[in-house]
Each structure stands twice: as C-alpha cells, then as structure tokens.
C-alpha cells in the first residue's frame, strides 16, 4: 500500500508537467496556424493577432493543462475559447480542434454519458461558430465533419475510460486473490504447527511421564532390589528409544515438501503401549473386538494418540491400579474406551490440556470424544471416530 501511494505521488507531478507542456504546445500551434492563415475556414476580414488572441491562447493552454483534474471546466473553457476566437475574428481555424481534447478527457474520466453530453456540446459550439457567428454558407460540408470529430473524440475517451476501469478492477481482484492466498497459507502453516505441536506433546508427554515413574521405582529399589532397578532402567531405555523414533518422525515432516508425518504409530503398536504402561505399574486389560480391518492412516494415528494420551493422564494424575482399554471396530465407526479405577478428580490444568488435545483430534476427523467420571468409579475417556472405506 505504501509503495502504491508513493508511486502515485510520483506520477502526479510528472503528469501535471506533461499536461502543462501539451497545453503550451497546442496554444503555440494555434498561434502559428493563425499567423500562417492555416485552417479549414478563411475569412477576408480577419484581423491580426493582438493581445486578445494571446489571452485566448493562454486560456486555451490553461484549459488543456487542467483537463484531467477538472474535465468539465476544461471542456467548457475550450469551447468558450473557440467561440471567442471565431467572434474575434482571428485568422486560422485550427483552434476548433482543441475542444476534442476536452471531449476525450471528459469521457475517459466520467464515462460515456458525460462523454456524450460533452460531444453534443462541442458539436453545437462548432456549428454555432461556423454557421451562425461566421455566417459562411460555404461551410456546409464542415458541419458534419465537426460533429463526427466530436463524436469520435468522445467515443475514444469512453473506450479508454472503460479500459482503465477494467484494468483497475482486474488489479483489485488480483490483489484480493493474492491476499486470500497469503491468508490461506498463513492459516495452513498455523494448523500444521498446531498439529506438529500436538504430536510432540503426545509423544514427549507420554514418554516423560512413564520415564518419571520408572525412575522413581529405580531409585526406590536401587539398594534393596538391584535387579528390579535394572529392569526399570531397561524400561526407561526402551521408552526413550521409542519416543526418539516418534519425535524423529514428527520432526522429519519439517524437512519434507509434503509436510506429512511418517506413519510410525498406529493401533498395531497397542501391545507395546500397553507394555510401557504396565512397566509404569498399571494393570491394563485390553479388549479388542469387532471386524478388525486396515484403518485409514489419519484414523489409525489419531486412535493411537488418543489411547496414548489417555494412558499418560492415568499414569500422571489418576493414581489408578487398573485400566480397562476397549477397542471396538464397528464399521463405519471405531470406538475407544479407556477407564481407570483411580480417584476421579476434575481435570487439572495439565489433564485438561490433554483432554482438549484428544478432543481436537477426534473433531478433526468428524468424530467425538467425551471424558469424565464414571458411575462405577474412576475416570473414563470415550472416543468415536468415523472410518471411511479404504479403497
């Protein structure tokens, strides 16, 4: 916007200089033609150029110079100069062509209606000057020519005006389209960042929560039961390796042109996820039922992440001993239920953010997710994800 305004400001003085230069040139041509007696009509009683002729030439130059800023006033002034020049009477009749510049400018600036009115006014002035003021019956053939020239100038100006309007409209439409594309790109970038942040939250949050539990176990039994401490350290290493693999897959999307996260997590990894939760001290009862079939990648990944986040919340917040995990394949939907036997407290800030993330995953696939205390105790997360047919 700033560059456009600056460009317009620079063009205005240059255009004014051109207009003034053209006005002076036209006035000079009229005076030279008058001195040389050039013009379509001649009279025997024409008087020599005097101060009045030069004053009319100066007025003509001024009117041509302001025709773009004040087209109506400029055309009226040019027509008046023609009438006064003919009434003079001054020699040379090329001055009659000067109003054509005003007709053109008026039509180009105000449209065809104003152009038609200006052309009619100019043609009328030309007829008045030639037939009435001069009273020259030998100019019958000049009248149609004057009308034709005025109409041509007005038509040309109207055509140029429409072209300018079309060009301006096209540029405005292009600017709107460019702005829309930029806004869409920014929105897509923001959505992609949010998706990657959610992936990292799920991976890192689950890994860190499980590692924290295993580290606590290792510290607790380090002296009394070194063997169990070793098992805890081995579990920590396995969790770290799995988490690093998932993080590499997520960050790898930042280096690809498509931005797609490589599919490294799905319901086929539920046994490993259950084993990790059990290493953290939970008992997980896994029940998978229904018509198990290959799932679309987005559904498979979202289902895994929802289960992962739900188990992470149980480990971090619930103080539970047992988790019941049910995965039910009932086309066209996949149902996930994760219920624990812990103390069902209202979600804390950390727990609430995790639930929001799970809910957003489900909504992104036109699914739904509910989370809250269960009537039989504990806390339950229930997600339903639509499963389109994989062709």
Region 98-113: mean pLDDT is 85
Is 249 domain-assigned?
no
Return left, alpha or beta for 366; rule: phi > 0 is left, psi -120 to 50 is alpha, else beta: left
Confidence at residue 19, expressed as pLDDT on a 0 to 100 scale? 78
CB 122 within 8 A of CB 145: no
Place of tokens 């040389």: 36
Is 252 domain-assigned?
no
Domain boundary residue, one of 148, 163, 178: 178
Handedness of CA 339, 342, 348, 349 (dihedral sign): negative
Handedness of CA 241, 304, 195, 213 (dihedral sign): negative
Rounded Cα distance between 38 and 43, Å, is 11
pLDDT confidence tier of residue 30, bands split at 50, 70 and 90: confident
Q: In terms of residue numbers, what domain contains 30? A: 2-178
Confidence at residue 1, expressed as pLDDT on a 0 to 100 scale? 42
Tokens, residue 145: 């020519």
* DSSP single-letter state for residue 316: I
How much of the chain, in percent, has pLDDT values that exceed 90? 7
Is 292 domain-assigned?
yes
- Residue 168 shares a structural domain with residue 297: no
Return left, alpha or beta for 259; rule: phi > 0 is left, psi -120 to 50 is alpha, else beta: left
Handedness of CA 9, 13, 16, 17 (dihedral sign): negative
CB 89 within 8 A of CB 42: no
Is 317 domain-assigned?
yes
Rounded Cα distance between 101 and 82, Å, is 13
Rounded Cα distance between 47 and 319, Å, is 115
Is 195 domain-assigned?
no
Domain boundary residue, one of 154, 178, 202: 178
Among the residues of 128-141, which ranges form H helices?
Answer: none
370 versus 145: which is more confidently predicted? 370
- Residue 170 shares a structural domain with residue 279: no
- Average pLDDT value over all residues in the chain: 76
- Nearest-CA neighbor of 295 among 285, 286, 306? 306
pLDDT digits (tens, 9 = 90+) for 209-260: 666 666 665 666 566 666 666 666 666 666 666 666 666 665 555 555 444 5
């Amino acid at each position: 916007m700033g560059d456009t305004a600056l460009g317009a400001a620079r063009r205005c003085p240059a255009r004014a200089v051109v207009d003034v230069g053209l006005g002076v040139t036209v006035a000079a041509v009229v005076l030279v033609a008058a001195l040389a007696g050039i013009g379509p009509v001649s009279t025997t009683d024409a008087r020599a150029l005097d101060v009045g002729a030069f004053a009319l030439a100066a007025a003509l130059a001024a009117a041509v110079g302001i025709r773009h800023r004040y087209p109506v006033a400029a055309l009226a002034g040019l027509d008046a100069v023609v009438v006064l020049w003919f009434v003079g009477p001054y020699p040379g009749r090329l001055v009659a062509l000067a109003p054509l510049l005003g007709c053109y400018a008026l039509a180009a600036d105000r449209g065809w209606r104003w152009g038609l009115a200006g052309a009619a006014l100019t043609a009328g002035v030309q007829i008045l000057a030639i037939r009435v003021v001069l009273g020259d019956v030998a100019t019958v053939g000049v009248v149609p020519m004057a009308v034709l020239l005025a109409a041509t100038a007005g038509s040309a100006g109207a055509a140029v005006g429409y072209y300018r309007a079309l060009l301006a409209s096209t540029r405005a439409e292009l600017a709107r389209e460019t702005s829309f594309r930029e806004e869409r790109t920014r929105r897509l970038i923001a959505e992609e960042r949010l998706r990657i942040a959610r992936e990292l939250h799920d991976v890192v949050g689950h890994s860190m929560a499980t590692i924290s539990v295993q580290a606590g176990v290792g510290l607790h039994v380090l002296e009394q039961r070194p063997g169990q401490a070793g098992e805890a350290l081995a579990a920590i290493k396995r969790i770290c390796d799995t988490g690093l693999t998932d993080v590499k897959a997520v960050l790898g999307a930042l280096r690809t042109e498509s931005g797609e996260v490589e599919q490294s997590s799905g319901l086929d990894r539920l046994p490993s996820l259950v084993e990790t939760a059990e290493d953290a001290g939970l008992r997980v009862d896994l029940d998978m039922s229904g018509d198990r079939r290959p799932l679309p990648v987005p559904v498979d990944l979202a289902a895994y992440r929802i289960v992962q986040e739900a188990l992470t919340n149980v480990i971090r917040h619930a103080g539970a001993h047992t988790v019941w995990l049910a995965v039910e394949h009932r086309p066209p939907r996949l149902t996930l239920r994760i219920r624990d036997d812990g103390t069902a407290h209202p979600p804390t800030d950390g727990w609430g953010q995790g639930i929001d993330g799970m809910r957003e995953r489900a909504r992104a696939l036109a699914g739904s997710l509910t989370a809250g205390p269960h009537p039989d105790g504990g806390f339950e997360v229930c997600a339903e994800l639509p499963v389109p047919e994989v062709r």
